[in-house]
Copies of this chain bind each other. A is one copy, B any other.
C-alpha cells in the first residue's frame, strides 16, 4: 500500500462525507420490480458525475432500464479505459434483513460478529476500515460507483482517458446490454474495459480476473415404460430409465473424471493462462475434501459439465415399487472462450445418440416405444460464449500494475471467473480486451439479505480508481 497517495490522503480527510454520500445513493431502491426507482438511481449517478465535471448522459432503450454513460478526457494521449458497473441489485425480502435494505445502516463490524449499529460519522470523525455499510447494492454493485465518485474528487489532475457505463439490469441477465453496446459503440470505444463487479479473493487479497465462462443448459430425459410399471412383475423386462441414465452420465467422463464428449473438451489454455492459474491459491476452508486432481484455477480454464439435478420417480417416504416411466438429468455447461454454446449442445446430443439412443423431440409414439429400447429427449438452451483475455496483453499488464500500486499484497490474477456473465457483448461490440476488477469483500452477503460492504474495501476502490484516473 502506498501510504502517501493523494487518494489515501483524501480518504483520511473526507471518509465521513464519502460514506454519507454513498448512503444517499443506497437509500434509493434499485430493484427490477421498481423501474421508477431505477430511473432515479440513474439520474442520481448522472448528476453526481456532472457535478464533478464529467460529461454524462442517461440513455434509455424502450422497455429497458436506462444506462448512464460518461466520458472523461484526460490530458494525455494515453490509452482509454472503460469502466463498467451496474446500479441495479438483487430483489429483496425485507423481512429477512436485520435493517431495511434501503435504509443504509453502518455497523462496527459484521452482523454475525455482533457489529453494533452506529450513526454515520460527521466530518472529521475517525472512520474504521472494519466498519460495514448494510444495504442492498452496497457491494453488488454500487460500491464501485461510490468509489469512483470519491476518486474523482480525490484526484484533481485527471490525466487518464476514461469512458463510463453503468447498467441497470445486470441482475436479470443483462437482456439489453448487447443492444446498448451496439447502439453506443462509437462513444464507448476503449483500449480495455474494466468490469467492476464481484468480490476480491476470499483471503482479502486484491484480484483481477481475465474472463468469464460461457453458459448452456441441457436436459436429457430417458424414457422407460409408458407408465410406471410394477417392479416385481416387470423388473428388467423393460429398460429401467434410472439405470440407463446413470450409464449415460458415466459415459461422459473417463475414470479420472475428464470429459469424454467428442468436441467438448475445448481449446488448450495458453501457457500464460496456465502460469497465471498456477499462481492462484486454492480456496481454503470449503468444508469438504477437495478434488485431488488439478487446481482450482486450473479447472476454471476448462469447460465444465455439471450435473445440477436428477429426477426419476420418487425416493424416501413416497417411493413406490416401480420401474419409473422416465429419468431426467439437468446439466449446466460452463464454456471456455472459443466454444459455441449451440455446437456444445449438439456435441452432447451426438454423444447420447452414439450411446445407442433413439432421439425424440416429443414423448415417443407407441411405434417408437416398440422399435427402440433406448429412447431419449435432449433439450438444450444455448446461453452465450465465454470471454478470456490474455495475461500477456499489454493493457492487462498496465491495469495490474495500477492495482498492484495500491494493494496491500500483489493482486491475484485469476485466469477466468468460474461463473458465467454475458460479457461477450463487450468483446463483440467494442472489440477490445476486458478484465474483471472487483473491490467488494468476499463475505458481503451478495444476493442475500444483509448485503454489506466493508469500509476498507470501499477505500481500496477509491485508491484503485484514483490510480486509473491518473492515467496508466
Contact = CB atoms under 8 A, between A and B. Distances in A.
B328 A316 contact: yes
Contacts of A321: 306, 308, 332
A288 B236 CA distance: 12
B372 A289 contact: yes
A284 B388 CA distance: 58
A334 B371 CA distance: 29
A304 to B, nearest CB: 4
Contacts of A232: 213, 304, 334, 417-420
A123 interface: no
Interface of A is mostly: mixed
A330 B228 CA distance: 15
Contacts of A226: 287-288
A309 B299 contact: no
A171 to B, nearest CB: 15
A314 B308 CA distance: 7
B418 A233 contact: yes
Interface in A292-326: 292, 296, 299, 304, 306-316, 319-324
Given A237-B290, A253-B243, A419-B232, A311 B308 contact: no
Contacts of A299: 235-237
Nearest to A302: B236
**Among A233, A234, A240, A320: residue with most chain B CB under 10 A:** A234
Interface stretch (A91-99, A161-169, A179-187, A244-252): A244-252
A405 interface: no
Contacts of A323: 306, 308
B304 A308 contact: no
A232 B420 CA distance: 7
Interface in A13-49: none
A290 B233 CA distance: 13
A81 interface: no
Contact of A239 (B219, B288, B309, B330): B288
A230 interface: yes
B238 A288 contact: yes
Interface size class of A (residues with CB under 8 A): 35 or more
B243 A307 contact: yes
A299 B237 CA distance: 8
Contacts of A329: 242, 315
Interface centre among A290, A306, A313, A328 (most CB of B within 10 A): A306
A313 B320 CA distance: 19
A327 interface: yes
A369 interface: yes
A327 B334 CA distance: 21
A280 to B, nearest CB: 13
B371 A304 contact: no
B291 A236 contact: yes
A109 interface: no
A5 interface: no
Contact of A308 (B306, B320, B328, B332): B320
Interface string A206-232: 000000010001010000111000111
Contact of A242 (B235, B307, B320): B307
Interface of A: 213, 217, 219, 224-226, 230-240, 242-243, 245-247, 249-250, 253, 257, 283, 286-292, 296, 299, 304, 306-316, 319-324, 327-330, 332, 334, 366, 369-373, 417-420
29 contacts: A224-B288, A225-B288, A230-B418, A232-B417, A233-B418, A234-B286, A234-B418, A235-B418, A236-B257, A236-B291, A236-B299, A237-B296, A238-B291, A239-B289, A240-B307, A242-B309, A243-B249, A247-B250, A250-B250, A289-B370, A289-B371, A292-B373, A308-B314, A308-B324, A310-B310, A311-B312, A315-B329, A315-B330, A316-B330
